[in-house]
Structure formats: structure tokens, C-alpha cells
Structure 1
Amino acid sequence: MVRPQSKPSEREKYRAPRTALDVENYPVAPSELELAQVHVYVRHGERTPVSTRMSGAPGNIPERWNMCREARRFRAAVAGDPSARLLDVTRIVEQSSGQAAEGECLLGELTDTGRASTFNFGQALRRLYIEKLGLLPDTLTNQADVYFRSTNMPRTVESLQQVIHGLYPMSKCDPLISHRILVRNGREENLIGNTLGCKRLETLLVNFATAAAAAYNPTLEPLDKRLSKYLGGNPIRVDGKPRASGILDTIRAAMAHGLKVPSEFEERSITSTIERAVVNEWFSDKTEEVRRLGMGRLLGDLITKMEIKANEAYTVDRSPKILIHSTHDTALAALANTLDVFDDRWPGFTASITFELFKHSTPSNGSAEPLPTNTPPPQQNPGILQSVLSKPFKQRRQLAADYYVRARYQNRNLVLPLCAEEGKHLHGSPEFCTLEAFAERVIELVPKDWDAECSV
């Protein structure tokens, strides 16, 4: 006799993760540490799937999502007409049939839900770093206090716009302040593992994906009997058609918007098995070379800006207090992987990783060689990375010893293996790395000649 399968309870069901920033339970640093700077890397908000999958029976996941009614109206600059410099425009998606549905989303587009969650994320940053910790002023009067950057994707740019308005709405800005969002050209981008500009990285990642298919396709085979009916009779595979990553993307996007998905995908044993395979294909631990080519330059930017902040007492230029970067799941997972603290879970929408720089209130005795007093702000001179990191630590050691770095991911502190040894973290608090220990590891990861290494 075959016992009928019992339906999972609400608690047992697989759900897309919710990753709202938890301000109330934020662990305040020890009293001897003063927060000096924070770097935020946040994944964009909820979006539609990047491709249409399982839209026919029996999956019945909607092919078209009417969830993009907000921000459809905007004002565009008009060239050559001084009397009408702005033009009101409404953007509407046109279908191949010629029909146009107001509020319909493009594939991969930030939805109204995503706009709300990223706005809420910005408000949470305000409650934490302005109202609770006092790192930033209540009203923004100095543009140099903030730094905003995004990848050149509509969903990340629009997410960052929402974060900014949550952090510093216009009512909390000096009338002369105009928020700036920095975007880099594709080949210069380092907020993701840049396979466009680095063919060597692309080759390595393709090889890892092939290896993941060989290793994890057998774990997916037992799911075929229950899932193939939703995939046009095809088996579910890492390298299948559709790919397992695409299937999970559609399921998680639908769940995040409260849409009904086939009951099988709500079973934790099924979807967790798919997630494990997908995470190993996309995010799982890679080689030191992949870490260098993928995240080395980004971490180099991070440590450079921290060292400039640490040197601020010696410089006439003022560096930002908060730096917010709007990016993708691949960046968050790669950062965590590179620092050996990845939890092997696919980062959710608006998931974030932060790096907080603290100054010890009782600095140790000694001297360090400061940066030159005419050092330009980092965003104006990215070449400063090599000039800062090329200085031997014996010249910067004492200054670095007065500063600590704490990494946080998914609302929890990360204890980084790179500073586990005694003397490389704040005594009794292993989550606070010395800036020196953190920088030593980063220097190992920064390519000395990225273009040359990418051409191998």
C-alpha cells in the first residue's frame, strides 16, 4: 500500500527569502569604537523573471506581469528648445501583436514591489545610520558625505533611486543638493565579476558551470517524475532547457510577488535540492584566480577608500561617510565567497552586505605615513588604488592598527577567517578585523595588471 504524500505545512513550505534590514536588532559596537564609514552593497529589489518559463498548463505562471504601474511617468530633457526643457513621457510596454498594456512589466524589470522594498531599505539605512548611530546628519548639506553607484542596468539604477529617496528624501536635503548616481562603462565595471572585460574569467566560469552540471545533475534526476510536466516533458538539469537556475529564478520571483506556483516547488526538499545545484553552478567556491579576477578590483576600491578615510585627519579632502552600491546576487555571493563566509544560499532580493569602518577611541602610540595632503577624492582618481596599496605596511601599520572593519551579511556579523588569529581582531570581538589584517588579504587579491591577467 502506497501512503499518500502529506502536504507541507505553512512553516515547512519553501519560500523566497525576505531580507529586510533589521534595525532594531542591530548589534552596536563596543563603546571604544567609533563608526567612521560604511560601505553598502545591496541587491536590486524584486523583479520579473528574466525569461518566460512555465507559463502554459499545468504550470500557469503568468507570462505577462502587470506590476509596473509606478514610475511609468517621467520627465525627459528636450534638446534645442529653451522654452520647453522638459517633456512629460509615459512608458508603456507594447506586445508583438501591437497591443499595449499600461502597467505591464518588461522581462527582468523592477516591479512596484521591488520599488517599495528598496525604498524601505533606504528608510532602514536612515533609521540606523542617521537616527540611531548619528554617522550622517539629519539633513544632507554636503554632497561629499554620500556616494551612490550602480551597475548599468535599469533595475539596479531604479533600485538605487528608491534607496536614496528613503535615506535622504528631498525634504531632508539642502535645496542645492542634487543626488548623483555613478555608473561605469561595461569594460570598467567591477560591481560584478566582469566577464565582458575579462575573457579569462568568462572561460573559468564556463568551466565551473560545466563541472557543476556533471556533479549535480544526478541529484536532480529523482525530481524528473514530479517536475518534467511543468517543463514541456524535459528533465530538470543544471544545463537543461530551461536551465535549473532559470526555473528557480521564475519560482522565486513569483513567490516574492505572492503569485501561485505549482505545489511541488513549495516542498522544501524539492526546491532546496534545486537551489543547492544552482548555487554550486553560479556562486560556489572557486579558485584564487577567479577571486582575483572577479572581486579583487572591487575589494581594492573598498580598502582604498577606507584607508583614505583613515588618513582624513592628514588630508584637506573629505571622503564619504556612506557609500551605497546597487548590484546583483552574483556580487554579494562572490564577495562572501572571496572572504570565505558564504552560506551557500542564493541571495534574496534587497539582500545586502556591509563593511563598517570603526576608529578606536584610544589610538595606539606611534606614527604612520599619511597620504599626501593633495590626495584627490577616490571617485575622481581611481588610480590612487595602486599608489595607496603600493606603500609598504611598515609605513602604514600604526595607522591601520587604530581602525577596525566589521562585515555584516543578511543581518548578522561575519567572523572573517582572514583575521581569526589573535592580534588581527579586536580582543574579545573576533568580528572586528584590524584594518591592517583586512588590507593584507585584499592586497593579495588585487590584480597588479588586470588586463594582462584577463588575456591569459
Structure 2
Amino acid sequence: MAPTSFASSNTESSGPNVAQAKLPKLLPEFIAQHYPSEAKLLHVHLVHRHGERTPVTHLFPSISPKYWNFCVQGNRLHSDFTKAVGVYAPNSDVDSDVDADKKGKDHQKWHNYMFKSENSKKRGIFPDDPSKAHSNDKSQFTADTCAYGQLTDVGRQSLTALGAHMRALYTDALGFLPAIPRPGDDNGPTEDLYLRTTSYTRAFESLQHTLGGMYPNLPVNSRIFRINVRPRNIENLYSDYRCKVLDRLHTECSKESVEHFSEDHAKLHRDILQIPSLGEPFEVELKRRAPFASLFVWDTTSSMRSHGLPLPKEIDDDFISRVSHMCAVEYQRPAMRSTQLARMQIGPFVRELTDNVVSVVEADRGIIVNKQRPPKMSIYSGHDTTIGPLLAIFGDDLAGSPSLTTSATPLWPPFSSSLRIELLKDSASPYPDVQPSWAGDLANHSEDLSTIPPEERIRPFNVPDSLYRLAPGQTDNTLATPFNPRAMRDYYVRIWYNDRTVQLPACRDPGAHHTKLGSSVCTLDGFFKQVARFVPSESETIQELHALAKAQSKSQ
């Protein structure tokens, strides 16, 4: 039973719901414009945030129901999920991806990040005076009640819709993915897809529903998919803030970012404090968690907005947009201002993406590095803290709402947000006949990249020199052919964020993007240039941590 007595509903706004992601309409003209026949699709990375969920905190009981009854199907499916994976995840000493259904005495329990108990002092999610909580709440605990942080039926529908969109585009319209996933060797899991999720239950279940939307007619007991999960100590889909050095650096950079938007930041906080249902608990969090307090307002209001729950009249779509913007200022924009922070937050994952792109290009050029062919699509189920830093690395700072007054208005990634990184090949269209300004220094392209500071690199350190020493049609990368800076001229990268393309700064020069499809379709060299300074080697990561720790200890 949904709550009915909080406040007058203000969810029937004519404005966009910034708490939910949008997808482009796959009209024939859209397909013709973006996927001409000469541009062959080679690989797709799909990185998505989990779907709509209940709040992970319970700081605003005056507006939020005590019981979120949005898990009619979710609780049944969650029970099936825990049985299917045996509630076990890889042990922390594993140094590679493993199957999520693997279990045994040498494996630790699955990380079920949902909070059923009302007595969780560790989370600090309940007010000091319980008598103030839910004074007008008529919600009841039922079999449909969700836990805190649980993927709801709304979230399941959103991810199923995302999967259906992938099927409509890459299977039905383009014929890139098979209509039915093909079994791998020995009739094992399909090799068309590489699948990975974090060990958060809502992320795993979101991946399940994405696959359900892509392949809706598979038998329930099908074992065609292999799901990979990494233990927390080697997870790279989100930042590990147990690292105190990273935590302090992020806090410092966030304060600098907030100063850039100080007027908007201060006004939003004043407005929050004046709203009776938000002011008192927000003031407490502002003292405890500054400069990151806005995210707690977003956590509750965006979840309520996404589930159609009534909100006070002051909390309209424009207000939620302002909160979303300030969350991006506090969490996402710092990574745009600090290359060092971005490298530490998500650099190892970008290194993995780059490795995948290299493998696909090598396979397309006939270089047999591994016997197993690269998958057609890689799907990563993550979080807002996955999408946000990636957007920062891709230079996306203008995804704003026109109602905001600032010149640069990034918004926090809404539920079920997705990034698609498409690798294309086009040998027919003319290649740019000019070089971008950053391509002039060939030494930075061909020398040992470990000797060049990351900020000066034209390509990531893990892009092998051998890719630039192959003549067309040549497959033997051991031959000492001359270095050719235009050897990758047939390959391009395009990045979609929800329903629009991302304009990478390094690809805006005339010589760094597709001559027909425009600046949203980067040359592969342009993509490499954009991410080069954010991709650290293992040794560089360790050195950077030591240097930061030393600098921070001196400043204290």
C-alpha cells in the first residue's frame, strides 16, 4: 500500500524528469543518419547505472514513507537471485574475473547491499528522535515492501527497456548482435557478450533485466550467459574510498569545484534549509558530510520523483534539477578539474576499456593475439559513481538543464543511465586530410610512453607501438616496418550518453573526427588522445599514491 498522506503531490510537472534517463527514438532517419552502410560496427561497450531503487538513507522521514512498497515482483525475483548465486562472491585474493555462481569454502559471501534493519547505527540513517519520524505516514509493511537501496519494480522495468532498446538497435536494425545468443565452445556460455557487474545486488539484478530485455525468449534455466564479478579489492567500476589518500584528494577538489559555483551552491543550501521537511536533517548532514551533503537530498527526492510519490510543492522538477546539478559539482566536476583525481577514481577501468579496443582492432587486422575472438559487446553494470567520472574523463561538462543559470551545468547521472562506446570502421569515407594540433609531435607518439608524463601523451601507455607499424593487409606485427602515425585511419569511436552523443574535446579539431559523420565520431587517435592522460600503469598508480600521501602528510 503506497503512502497517501505526506503532502500535496507535485509530480505532474510539465518539465523533464531528471531522475530518469532517456533513450533516443530509433526512427528510420535516425538509423540512416548515425549508422550509414560504410561505417561498420566492430564492438560496443555498454556501461550502465542500476535502475530505480529505494533510498539508501532515511534522513527525511517527514516526506519519505517508512515502507516503500514497490517490490511486488522484486522480492520474489530477489529471492530467486540469492538462490541462483548461492549468495557467494569471489574471495578477495582472486586476481581475475570469476563466475558469479562459483561458490565454496574459499569464497566470501555475496555483498547484499540492502538494509532491512531499522537499527542500523552504522549507517546513521534514522533521526535521533524517533517520535519525529513518519507522524503522518500510513504506509504498512507488506510482502511488497522494499529494503533500503533495493532495486524496485520500476527499476526492473527501466533496465528491461534498456535491454529492449539494445536489441531493437543492434539486433533488429543493424543485425550486429544475433537474435539468439550463440553458444561458445563445447556449447558453453556465449562469446558474443562479455558481462560484468559490481557485487552490489541492485547492479547484478539490473544486469539480469538488461539481458532479459535483449533476449526475452530464453528459457528460464538457460546457462548461456557467464556473469563476471570482481572482489572489492580489485574492483575498478567505482572508486575505493577506503583509500584515505583518494578520499582527501576528492574532498579538496570538491571544495575547489564548489567555489566555482559558490553563488548557486549557497543559494541552493539556503533554499533547502528553508523547506521544513528538509531543513533540519540537511543541516545535520551539512555539518557531518560537507561538501557532499547535496547527494543525500538527491537520494531521497529523486527516488520519490521516480516512483510517483507525492512531494512538497517546493520540491518540483526545477528544484530537483538544481540538486542534481550541485551533486555533479560536488562529485563529478572535481574529476574534470583534477586529472590526478580522475586517474585514481576510474583510470584503471578506462585502461580496461582501452585494452578491449586494442584487442578488437588487432583481431580486425588479423593479428591473432589470443585464440578467443573478442566479444561483440561488453556490458558493465555499475553505478552513478561509475558513469559520473567517465563523463568527466570524456570531457562532458555541458549536459545541463536550460532552467539553470550557470554556464556549465552538468547533471548527476539519473537512474538507468548508460554510456555506449561504439568502435566503428570506415574504409570508404575520406579520412581527414589535416592533422589535429596535438598530433604534431611524433616523438610523443612513438617513443617509450613510460618516459613521457601522462599529460603529454598522445595515446595511452597500453596502446602498443606495433599498431602503428603495420601496413594495410599486414598481419605480422614482428616486422620492423616504419612508424606510421596514420595507421589507425580506418577506425573511429563514438560515445552515446543516454539519448545524445558526447563531444570529446580532443575530437573537435577538423583532423580528429569523421569527415561525414561529424565531431561526435572521433578518429581512434582522437579517442586515444582524450583518454591518454587518465590511463595509469600499475606502477604509476602506486607512485602517485605515495606522492600524494607524502604531500598530504606534510600539509597537516
- Name the TM tier (shorter chain): 0.7 to 0.9
CA distance in 2, matches of 1:233, 1:192: 28
* 1:281 pairs with 2:322: no
Distance apart, 1:306 and its partner CA: 1.2
- The structure 2 residue matched to 1:64, chosen from 55, 64, 67, is 67
- The structure 2 residue matched to 1:205, chosen from 222, 230, 250, is 250
Residue matched to 1:426 = 514
Residue matched to 1:454 = 545
Distance apart, 1:239 and its partner CA: 5.1
- The structure 2 residue matched to 1:35, chosen from 20, 35, 41, is 41
* 1:445 pairs with 2:498: no
Contact 2:460 2:535 in 1 (8 A): no
Residue matched to 1:227 = 275
Identity of aligned residues (%): 27
* 1:317 pairs with 2:376: no
For residue 302 of structure 2, what is the amino acid of its counterpart? Answer: R
Further displaced range: 287-296 or 272-281: 272-281
Q: Give CA deviations for 1:75-96 in whole Å, capped at 9, x if unaligned.
A: 45889xxxxxxxxxxx999655
Superposed CA RMSD:
3.4
TM-score by length of 1: 0.80
CA distance change for structure 1 residues 178 and 194 in 2, over 3 Å: closer, same or farther? Answer: same
Q: Give CA deviations for 1:378-418 in whole Å, capped at 9, x if unaligned.
A: xxxxxxx9995242664364542211001111211222111
Distance apart, 1:217 and its partner CA: 4.9
Distance apart, 1:218 and its partner CA: 2.3
Contact 1:228 1:235 in 2 (8 A): no
Residue matched to 2:500 = 412
Residue matched to 1:85 = none
For residue 291 of structure 1, what is the amino acid of its counterpart? Answer: A
TM alignment of 1:10-25, pairs within 5 A: 10-11=12-13, 15-25=17-27
For residue 321 of structure 2, what is the amino acid of its counterpart? Answer: S
CA distance change for structure 1 residues 230 and 294 in 2, over 3 Å: closer, same or farther? Answer: closer
CA distance change for structure 1 residues 119 and 176 in 2, over 3 Å: closer, same or farther? Answer: closer
Distance apart, 1:179 and its partner CA: 1.0
Residue matched to 2:525 = 436
- Residue correspondences, number: 413
For residue 132 of structure 1, what is the amino acid of its counterpart? Answer: A
* 1:355 pairs with 2:400: no
Q: For structure 2, which runs of at least 5 residues remain unmatched after alignment?
A: 1-8, 88-111, 120-139, 184-189, 400-409, 432-458, 471-484, 548-556
CA distance change for structure 1 residues 129 and 51 in 2, over 3 Å: closer, same or farther? Answer: same
CA distance in 2, matches of 1:38, 1:226: 46
CA distance change for structure 1 residues 144 and 29 in 2, over 3 Å: closer, same or farther? Answer: same
Distance apart, 1:106 and its partner CA: 1.3
TM-score by length of 2: 0.67
For residue 530 of structure 2, what is the amino acid of its counterpart? Answer: R
- The structure 2 residue matched to 1:191, chosen from 237, 240, 248, is 237
* 1:149 pairs with 2:223: no
Q: Give CA deviations for 1:25-73 in whole Å, capped at 9, x if unaligned.
A: 44532332101110011110000001113223xx3x2022122232144
Contact 1:20 1:121 in 2 (8 A): no
CA distance in 1, matches of 2:326, 2:512: 35
- The structure 2 residue matched to 1:249, chosen from 285, 291, 299, is 299
For residue 411 of structure 2, what is the amino acid of its counterpart? Answer: R
Contact 1:44 1:118 in 2 (8 A): yes
Distance apart, 1:21 and its partner CA: 2.7
Residue matched to 1:376 = none
Residue matched to 1:120 = 161
More strand by share: 1
Residue matched to 2:181 = 140
CA distance change for structure 1 residues 172 and 323 in 2, over 3 Å: closer, same or farther? Answer: farther
Q: For structure 1, which runs of at least 5 residues remain unmatched after alignment?
A: 1-6, 80-90, 366-384
For residue 253 of structure 2, what is the amino acid of its counterpart? Answer: F
CA distance change for structure 1 residues 22 and 236 in 2, over 3 Å: closer, same or farther? Answer: farther
Distance apart, 1:100 and its partner CA: 7.3
Further displaced range: 134-143 or 397-406: 397-406
CA distance in 2, matches of 1:8, 1:105: 23
Contact 1:121 1:163 in 2 (8 A): yes
Q: Give CA deviations for 1:184-216 in whole Å, capped at 9, x if unaligned.
A: 1112111123334x4432221122344456636
